[in-house]
Amino acid sequence: MTLLLVLVPCSITFTRRTNPFCASSSAYGIAACCHALGQRTKKAAAGCLGGGLEALCLQPMDTVKTRLQLDRVGKYRGIANCGATIVRQEGVEALWKGVVPFTTHLMCKYAMRMGTNAVYQGALRDEHGQLSGARRMAAGFCAGMTEALVIVTPFEVVKIRLQQQQGAKGAQVKYRGTLGTFSTIAREEGLRGLWSGATPTVMRNGTNQACLFWAKNNMDKVLWRKHEGDGRVLLPWQSMISGFSAACLGPLVTNPFDVAKTRLMAQGGAAADVPKYRGFFDCIFQVARSEGPTALYKGLLPRLMRIPPGQAIVWGVADQVIGYFEAQKA
């Protein structure tokens, strides 16, 4: 987190000071290109840029999380041991398995999240244009559901199938590359296979975004006295602290959904002909019964090590882009 607080704000602040028009920096380059576009599209562009940066920085932690959640026999003894085992047995590059679908899906996901959240918030505002906390959470939940159904689920299935291939070489490798994995799953399991684990994914993303947008808005108010639409632009490090803090709640609530999602998405690539889990609730019940209730919180620590720093990156970038557009309107 300390490294993120130094590198991302410095890069954005340096660009703003050296180029008053901000067209040469990545964040403000997108801003200039989207100058004439609507507010929803501008927020989508801001989310897309932030999501791509997050994916490239934090993919290894996602790989470790997936391996821990798929570990039923105690192969790994925590985060450090899991990461070291992967590097020792498969090489450093294995920590970035699935990085292409992960990056693509995060960029698309954040674009859709920011854009659809703006749509849902607009639809839920009262006659005075105000948005209550409950309605803000409802808009976030709907945005999370939308991204889960349209984008997240198929890309997560592909990513997890690539990540679960441990030590496979040559002819043993079933899934090869992003497009090859999409094709293999669609051919062997039908298009429905790409939406394995959709129910827990919808529950996870909907709840996460309800918590996130509500908490981020309140963190801005409490920490920096920043109110939505007031024309103020937070400094990058302020946005990063708000985003980091706001993102801590969701993973604590939704980790059982995430474990069920991972297990359901992975089982289509297993050798067994008959799937172990028959759906979301059956998966939750079987995991709790055979491995103990604490197994539903496998991978929580790497999620907490990935999601809050990831949101720090996303909001550190997105608030600057959105603030640029608001400044142009003034």
pTM of the model: 0.76
N-terminal to C-terminal alpha carbon distance within the chain: 34
Average pLDDT over residues 66-73: 86
Winning range, highest mean pLDDT, from 225-239, 256-270, 281-295, 313-327: 281-295
Do residues 61 and 306 touch, judged by C-beta distance below 8 A?
Answer: yes
Per-residue pLDDT for 328 more than 80? Answer: no
- Half-sphere exposure of residue 261: CA atoms within 13 angstroms, side-chain side: 30
Residue with tokens 């028009």: 21
CB distance 164 to 87 below 8 Å? no
Instruction: In whole angstroms, give the CA distance from residue 245 to residue 260.
Output: 25
Contacts of 79 by beta carbon, 8 Å cutoff, 6+ apart = 64, 68, 301, 302, 305
**Residue 86 CB burial class (10 angstroms; 0-12, 13-18, ≥19):** buried
Token pair recorded at residue 194: 């790409």
Residue 196 neighbours by CB distance under 10 Å: 26
Residues 262-315 pLDDT 10s: 999 988 755 545 788 989 999 999 999 999 999 999 999 989 988 999 999 999
Residue 129 has a pLDDT of 86
Q: Please compute the mean of the pLDDT values over residues 43-61 and round it to a whole number.
A: 87
At residue 69, does pLDDT exceed 80? yes
Rounded distance, CA 120 to CA 101, Å?
27
Task: Choose between 10 and 113: higher pLDDT.
Answer: 113
- Map tokens 């808009």 to a residue: 139
Residue 263 has a pLDDT of: 92
pLDDT at 140: 96
Q: The dihedral of CA 221, 327, 313, 181: what is its sign? A: positive
- Count structural domains, the chain: 1
What is the spatial distance between Cα 157 and Cα 143, in angstroms, rounded to a whole number? Answer: 20
Query: Residue 229: what pLDDT?
Result: 77
- Among 72-81, 103-112, 278-287, 318-327, the range scoring the smallest mean pLDDT is 318-327
Q: How far is residue 220's CA from residue 229's CA, in Å, rounded to a whole number?
A: 12
pLDDT of residue 232: 87
Contact call for residues 304 and 62 (beta carbons, < 8 A): no
pLDDT in tens, 83-135: 999 999 999 989 988 888 788 878 988 999 999 999 999 999 988 888 999 99
pLDDT at residue 20 is higher than 60: no
The secondary structure of residue 272, as a DSSP letter, is -
What span, in angstroms and rounded, lies between the C-alpha atoms of 44 and 50? 10
For position 54, which CATH number holds?
1.50.40.10
Are 227 and 219 within 8 A, CB to CB?
A: no
pLDDT of 194 > 70? The answer is: yes
What's the pLDDT band for 323 if we cut at 50, 70, 90? confident
User: How is residue 93 written in tokens?
Assistant: 């590059």
Domain carrying residue 25? 2-329
